[in-house]
Amino acid sequence: MTPNRKVILYIAMSLDGYIANDNDGLEFLSIVEQKGEDYGYNKFVKTVDTVIMGRRTYDKVLSMGIEYPDNGNPVYILTRTERPDKGSIKFYTGDLKELVFKLKSEPGKNIYCDGGGEVVNALLQDELIDELIISIIPILVGRGVPLFKNGRPEQKLKLVSSKAFDKGLVQLHYVKMEE
């Protein structure tokens, strides 16, 4: 395995731990929108060349009118239903752990986990996330899609950085500590 290639979760959540509301809505993210501020996203995406996300997250992105660019970098959409690939977008129905081990064994930049909750928790269950960059939105959503679910193994993390922004967003960057 190439030790330099990491799986990095880069995601936003409400202060009470939700990545979407009851209707899979993301409207609460707009409270931190600020012209000219991307909260480090463009810098981050330059460090990755592969994306992993769940099918519901992919469908949500499409419903927002956002198309993933077909720049030749693979985007793996985890799904239970077989679908034909669309250029660099690959609909993956296999074992997630096998996919991550395969990707980590190949040369390349880091691997971006773009959600959603089920994918994040499956990766955490097998201790496959190396870094977490979590942007906390200053809102209590109350219910919806939680970022973290119960039942995963304990994983110790080291805080690399924390940054507070003008609109109240706080971004935390953690790395998994090796045992």
Q: From CA 58, how far away is CA 76, in angstroms rounded?
A: 10
Stated as kind and residue range, the H or E segment containing 67 is: none
Q: How far apart are the first and last CA of the chain?
A: 18
3-state secondary structure 134-148: EEEECCCCCCCEECC
For the chain, the C-alpha Rg in angstroms (whole number) is 16
pLDDT digit string, tens, across residues 132-156? 999 999 999 999 999 999 989 999 9
Could you give all domains of the chain from N- to C-terminal order, each with its CATH number? 7-176 (3.40.430.10)
Residue 178 confidence (pLDDT) above 50: yes
Stated as kind and residue range, the H or E segment containing 124 is: helix 117-125
pLDDT digit string, tens, across residues 85-132? 998 999 999 999 999 999 999 999 999 999 899 999 999 999 999 999
pLDDT recorded at residue 69:
65
Q: From CA 17, how far away is CA 92, in angstroms rounded?
A: 27
Q: From CA 50, how far away is CA 75, in angstroms rounded?
A: 6
Give yes or no for a cis peptide into 116 (omega within 30° of 0).
Answer: yes
Residue 70 confidence (pLDDT) above 70: no
Stated as kind and residue range, the H or E segment containing 101 is: helix 96-105
pLDDT recorded at residue 1:
42
**85 with 72: CB under 8 angstroms?**
no
Residue 2 confidence (pLDDT) above 50: no
